[in-house]
Amino acid sequence: MKSLQTMRAIGLMSGTSMDGIDAALIETNGDEITDFGGSVEIPYDDSFRHQLRGVMGRKAEVDAETLAVTMELTRLHGVAANELVAQSGLKPKDIGVVGFHGQTVFHDPAAGITCQIGDGAELARMTGIRVVNNFRSADVAAGGEGAPLAPVYHVALSRFLERPVAILNIGGVANVTWVSPDGGAVAFDTGPGNALIDDWVRLKTNQMMDVDGQLARRGYVDQGVLDKLLKHSYFDRPYPKSLDRDAFSFAALEDLSPENGAATLAAFTTHAVLKAAQQLPASPLQWLICGGGGIIVC
Ligand SMILES: Nc1ncnc2c1ncn2[C@@H]1O[C@H](COP(=O)(O)OP(=O)(O)O)[C@@H](O)[C@H]1O
Ligand SMILES: [Mg+2]
């Protein structure tokens, strides 16, 4: 495939953790990353996070509440993109494209549905930059799992690394990309990432996350509960496969203390990665671990 002309591109990500917006600037010809630019992180405040949580599971943005959340989400993405452009000493005309992921509120690719809220036209108006959005639903419509960009980015990132390499991104849901020596890729969700731990900690201690694993460190893994959690049919399914944020429940954890629950959920995330590792075509020479939750296992 012929490479495109080199351009600056901004990527905007608001993941299933609902912690905030990550914005990053790269220069690329579509195959290679020719330069890394700056980045900006805009955390959501408690009130907006609460509103966002309230629209999870909805499949269409037709009700007033979802529309209001969509508008605010879009506005905050505009703020993030504009801040990144200004911080980089650039003008909107210097940026070729903004990739706007939006916020996933529902994901069931087997049923042909993935739904991200976010208004691309409004973001283009706010930033003065061409916006590409809704790429996840386009991917699902084409028979994919709805995560078309991460593997392409990971392949480009691993160009000068010894391969096979595995890139593990622990966000709300965790996903892995395995890249073969010739640049072919296999990518899928490994299982839970941080979303379950975040939800557990919020339920038990009203905190947003288990900061630096402090709660989990004080607890013990309940092997019986862990075994139950790992019996989920997802782990035996061959890839390609992907998960909704809320695919797992706390039913098996009912009797656990906050500490033991956090420790068991951290072990659940880790063992799910081990199960995924067993499905990879060949053992990676190295693993790169990233995402907000990467800190938990590194
Ligand atoms: N210091 C920390 N201690 C524990 N967990 C953390 C810490 N920093 C970030 N996280 C976790 O990372 C998550 C955000 O990760 P991120 O990669 O942005 O995920 P997503 O793509 O789903 O938004 C938070 O919700 C939290 O669970
Ligand atoms: Mg995030």
| 29-57 core/surface letters (b: 16 or more CB in 10 A; e: else) | eeeeeeeebebbebebeeebbebbeebee
Mutate to test the pocket of ligand 1, among 175, 194, 197, 205 (most ligand atoms within 8 A of CB): 194
Mutate to test the pocket of ligand 1, among 13, 18, 203, 209 (most ligand atoms within 8 A of CB): 209
pLDDT of residue 139: 92
Domains of the chain, each with CATH number or no CATH: 7-146 (3.30.420.40), 151-297 (3.30.420.40)
Q: What is the pTM of this model?
A: 0.93
Q: Among all ligands shown, which has an atom nearest to the Cα of 202?
A: 1
For the chain, give the mean pLDDT: 94
Residue range 8-35: average pLDDT? 96
Look at residue 3 and tell me whether its pLDDT is greater than 70.
no
Ligand 1 atom at minimal distance to the Cα of residue 17: 22
Q: Among all ligands shown, which has an atom nearest to the Cα of 172?
A: 1
Look at residue 189 and tell me whether its pLDDT is greater than 50.
yes
120 CA to centre of ligand 1 in angstroms: 26
Q: Is the Cα torsion angle 189, 192, 198, 199 positive or negative in sign?
A: positive
Look at residue 298 and tell me whether its pLDDT is greater than 50.
no
Give yes or no for a contact between 242 and 150, defined as CB atoms under 8 angstroms apart: no
pLDDT tens-digit map of 236-292: 999 999 998 889 999 999 999 999 999 999 999 999 999 999 999 999 999 999 998
Nearest to 19 by CA among 216, 253, 210, 157: 210
291 CA to centre of ligand 2 in angstroms: 8
Mutate to test the pocket of ligand 1, among 17, 42, 298 (most ligand atoms within 8 A of CB): 17
Q: If you take atom 21 of ligand 1, which residue's CA is the nearest one? A: 15
pLDDT of residue 294: 67
Higher pLDDT, 272 or 293: 272
pLDDT of residue 60: 66
Share of the chain above pLDDT 70, in %: 97
Beta-bridge partner residues of 290: 169
Mutate to test the pocket of ligand 1, among 18, 19, 200 (most ligand atoms within 8 A of CB): 19
169 CA to centre of ligand 2 in angstroms: 11
Residue range 65-70: average pLDDT? 95
142 CA to centre of ligand 1 in angstroms: 30
Band (61; pLDDT cuts 50, 70, 90): low
pLDDT of residue 297: 45
Q: Where do we find the tokens 């703020």?
A: 79
Q: Which of 7-11, 84-88, 244-248 has the lowest mean pLDDT?
A: 244-248
293 CA to centre of ligand 1 in angstroms: 5
Nearest to 139 by CA among 276, 6, 240: 240
**Strand intervals (E) in the chain:** 7-13, 20-28, 33-43, 97-100, 103-108, 113-117, 131-133, 165-170, 173-179, 185-192, 286-290
Provide residues with CB under 6 Å of ligand 1.
15-17, 19, 171-172, 194, 198, 209-212, 291-293, 295-296
pLDDT tens-digit map of 30-56: 889 999 999 999 999 999 999 999 999
Look at residue 122 and tell me whether its pLDDT is greater than 90.
yes
Q: If you take atom 13 of ligand 1, which residue's CA is the nearest one? A: 292
